[in-house]
């Protein structure tokens, strides 16, 4: 089994992004699955082009995109991506779409194929806060999740894909009072647990438990 895991580069006022920092330090193999690591830019459309080339090159069984969700205290596995780009700030190339569809011929929303409840349960078992999230936002995180689902719908039907949001690192909240954070080692531990759950649930489907947030 081969799993492509992507992480975004820093954006906005931050000089570091826990997503790529954690992805770079993941094991090369988890539960006998080969882990392919890829840095992608926090840029609408370009991020999707880079992921598409990686899918064509690597032919992975799974694609897991990882992104920063500043303000969330736990690791959150996303259930759904919606067909809209609505940037609260410009991306790293200065583009700021406001309420634009990602693809005119795409579905209004796509649901993940990943075992998100099993992933959340595995992260909690590892001793870290986690929950299922029902909103990936409308910035580049939702964008890449939607784009990969669109690729699956139109060109790569055999892949399964999804998205995980992670909190700020401690050094990112020094000047952000009352904002939660998580140590890099713990983020890596959580992602490793989540990927292990993907491997263990392969061909079996997700578990049926209550692991989600209310919104």
Instruction: List the catalytic residues.
Output: 78, 141, 165
- Strand-strand pairing, 75-78 and 160-166: antiparallel
CA 92 vs CA 10, 13, 66, 68, 119: distances in Å: 9, 11, 17, 15, 30
Q: How far apart are CA 178 and CA 12, in angstroms?
A: 20
Q: How far apart are CA 140 and CA 42, in angstroms?
A: 6
- SS3 labels along 160-214: EEEEEEECECHHHCCCCCCCCECCHHHHHHHHHHHHHHHHHHCCCCCCCCCCECC
Q: Which of 13, 3, 43, 4 is nearest to 175 (CA)?
A: 13
């Amino acid at each position: 089994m081969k799993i492509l895991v992507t992480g975004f580069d820093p954006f906005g006022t931050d000089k570091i992004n826990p997503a790529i920092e954690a992805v770079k330090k993941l094991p090369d193999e988890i539960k006998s699955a080969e882990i392919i690591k890829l840095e992608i830019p926090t840029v609408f459309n370009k991020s999707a082009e880079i992921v598409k080339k990686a899918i064509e090159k690597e032919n992975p069984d799974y694609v897991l995109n990882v992104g920063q969700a500043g303000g969330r205290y736990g690791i959150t596995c996303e259930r759904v991506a919606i067909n809209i780009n609505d940037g609260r700030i410009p991306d790293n190339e200065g583009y700021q779409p406001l309420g634009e569809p990602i693809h005119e011929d795409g579905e209004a929303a796509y649901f993940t194929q990943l075992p998100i409840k099993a992933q959340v349960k595995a992260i909690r078992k590892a001793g870290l806060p986690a929950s299922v999230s029902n909103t990936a936002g409308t910035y580049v995180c939702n964008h890449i999740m939607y784009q990969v689902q669109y690729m699956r719908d139109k060109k790569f039907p055999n892949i399964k894909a999804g998205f995980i949001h992670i909190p700020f690192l401690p050094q990112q909240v020094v000047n952000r009072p009352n904002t939660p954070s998580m140590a890099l080692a713990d983020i890596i531990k959580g992602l490793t647990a989540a990927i292990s759950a993907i491997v263990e649930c392969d061909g079996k489907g997700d578990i049926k438990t209550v692991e989600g947030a209310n919104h």
